[in-house]
Amino acid sequence: MSPLRLSAELVTAVRRVLPQGGTSYPLHEPLFGGKEWDYVKSCLDSGWVSSAGAFVGRFEQQICEVTGSEEAIATVNGTAALHLCLLAAGVRPGDEVIVPALTFVATANAVSYCGATPHFADSAETTLGLDPKRLAEHLATVGERRDGSLHNKTNGRRIAAVVVTHVLGHPADLDPLLSLCREQRLPLIEDAAEALGSTYKSRHVGRHGLLAALSFNGNKVLTTGGGGAVITDDEALAERVRHLSTTAKQPHAWRYDHDAVGYNYRMPNINAALGCAQLEQLSGLLHAKRALAARYASALAEVEGLRCVTEPAFARSNYWLNAVLIDAGDTGVRDELLKALHAEGILARPAWTLMHRLPAYAEAPRADLEVAKDIERRLICLPSSASLA
């Protein structure tokens, strides 16, 4: 099909899904339909707005209930949560960390904040997440075991961890990744920033690896304004994360003693208040997002030349962002479609620019990224706010 015809058909199908009469459809907007005003007001009334207060603990408890995790530590954002996960997993300056090339830049940046270097790996078209088989092949080629650790034999650096991103909310294939990590004795960290409410084989994502990061930024499934959380089942790691997130201050009634370089990464009470109200509505939000995904799927089934990205068979996705993959796309066709959608106020977006193309990461080590490059050329994300359902 010609790009012109394809873009006309895509616009028509998307228009059928979106509520009539709108002039602009952003990619993802928050929805405040519960006790947000009450809870935020109670922070202002009590004076507890900052890094202590009852809503923080309550929010963490709710996160544990929703995910099934033993521990949750609320943070200022998802990037800080990722940074803390990497530190707690033992990533040190000079290390390398395996990260997908197809991810949001925060995943790679968190590695850099540790003084380590991201080492980019390829993705699978079925999940958009790290491809376990291709990663195993890559590690077999570049890795060598020395002094009990895996090293990159091309530069001698230790490979200290693997980070998997659940892209657009769709769970990556975790079991084979976990076997690979066990075999290579590498901790697996889950970037579940986009995946609150998604499960892999009936268990919430973020509960398969050693630690995971969640995000509650304004564009995510639910929001605390800015915010994130680390989840883990390991009590000692949770203790470490909590300590590092509060300037590594030793508990004492009046002394200021800090036993490490810590961070000011704790979520403020006012953000947690918003989060408590939002979490109370999670099941409704997830329901709305599935309904929207189903409507996109039926409307787009009639468009030849592209297909919807759907949850993998082993997973239940939160459908954070609905997306299509163009069958035979190049960036020219993709950009034609984006232009046509934007002309109608449909603020669709391409995939992230792959990490190795960013100036900060041009020199970083990488595997063959054939599949990620193909996805990058063919993916378009569509407006996905829960309010659209």
Ligand X SMILES: *Cc1c(COP(=O)(O)O)cnc(C)c1O
Among 193, 212, 300, 369, contact with ligand X (rule: CB under 6 A): 193
Angle (nearest 5°) at CA 344 between 341 and 350: 25
User: In this structure, how many other beta carbons lie within 10 angstroms of the beta carbon of residue 154?
Assistant: 11
Among 228, 312, 365, 383, contact with ligand X (rule: CB under 6 A): 228
Q: Interaction with ligand X in 146-185: which residues (CB under 6 A)? A: 165
Q: Is 117 in the site for ligand X (CB under 6 A)?
A: no
Q: Is 217 in the site for ligand X (CB under 6 A)?
A: yes
Q: Interaction with ligand X in 331-350: which residues (CB under 6 A)? A: none
Q: Is 245 in the site for ligand X (CB under 6 A)?
A: no
Q: Nearest distance from residue 240's CB to ligand X, in Å?
A: 20
Helix residue spans in the chain (DSSP H): 3-17, 36-46, 54-67, 78-88, 105-113, 132-142, 174-184, 235-245, 269-279, 282-300, 331-343, 370-378
Segment near ligand X (CB under 6 A); pick from 118-126, 187-195, 269-277, 303-311: 187-195
Among 77, 117, 127, 198, contact with ligand X (rule: CB under 6 A): 77
Which tokens is 161 given?
A: 């961890």
Q: Is 106 in the site for ligand X (CB under 6 A)?
A: yes
Residue 387 backbone zone (phi > 0: left; psi -120 to 50: alpha; other: beta): alpha
CA 232 to chain centroid: 16
For residue 240, the number of C-alpha atoms closer than 13 Å in the C-beta half-sphere is 15
Which residues are within 8 A (CB) of 195 and not within 5 positions of it... i.e. 6 or more apart?
166, 169, 170, 171, 205, 206, 214, 317, 318, 320
Segment near ligand X (CB under 6 A); pick from 14-22, 102-110, 266-274, 329-337: 102-110
CA 221 to chain centroid: 11
Q: Which is closer to ligand X, CB of 31 or CB of 102?
A: 102
Segment near ligand X (CB under 6 A); pick from 76-84, 93-101, 341-349, 378-386: 76-84
Q: Nearest distance from residue 194's CB to ligand X, in Å?
A: 5
Q: Which is closer to ligand X, CB of 76 or CB of 288?
A: 76
C-alpha span between 174 and 314 (Å, rounded) = 10
Rg of the chain's alpha carbons, rounded to an integer? 21
Q: Nearest distance from residue 244's CB to ligand X, in Å?
A: 17
Q: Which is closer to ligand X, CB of 165 or CB of 184?
A: 165
Q: Is 107 in the site for ligand X (CB under 6 A)?
A: yes
Q: Nearest distance from residue 387's CB to ligand X, in Å?
A: 20
Q: Which is closer to ligand X, CB of 216 or CB of 296?
A: 216
Q: Is 113 in the site for ligand X (CB under 6 A)?
A: no
Among 123, 184, 215, 271, contact with ligand X (rule: CB under 6 A): 215
Q: How many residues bind ligand X (CB under 6 A)?
A: 14
Contact between 117 and 364 (Cβ < 8 Å):
yes
Q: Is 230 in the site for ligand X (CB under 6 A)?
A: no
Which residues are within 8 A (CB) of 187 and not within 5 positions of it... i.e. 6 or more apart?
89, 90, 160, 161, 162, 181, 209, 210, 211
C-alpha span between 361 and 109 (Å, rounded) = 9
Q: Which is closer to ligand X, CB of 159 or CB of 192?
A: 192
Of the candidates 76, 79, 80, 106, the residue with the CA atom closest to the CA atom of residue 271:
76
Among 7, 69, 79, 318, contact with ligand X (rule: CB under 6 A): 79
Among 3, 30, 78, 197, contact with ligand X (rule: CB under 6 A): 78
Contact between 355 and 338 (Cβ < 8 Å):
no
Q: Which residues of 246-271 are buried (b: 16+ CB within 10 A; e: fewer)?
A: bbeeeeeeeeeeeeeeebebbbbbbb
C-alpha span between 228 and 216 (Å, rounded) = 5
Q: Nearest distance from residue 51's CB to ligand X, in Å?
A: 17
Q: Is 7 in the site for ligand X (CB under 6 A)?
A: no
What are φ and ψ of residue 100, in 5° steps? Answer: -65, 145
Q: Is 190 in the site for ligand X (CB under 6 A)?
A: no
Q: Is 122 in the site for ligand X (CB under 6 A)?
A: no
Q: Is 314 in the site for ligand X (CB under 6 A)?
A: no
Residue whose CB is nearest to ligand X in the complex, by number: 78
Residues that bind ligand X (CB under 6 A): 77-79, 103-104, 106-107, 165, 191, 193-194, 215, 217, 228
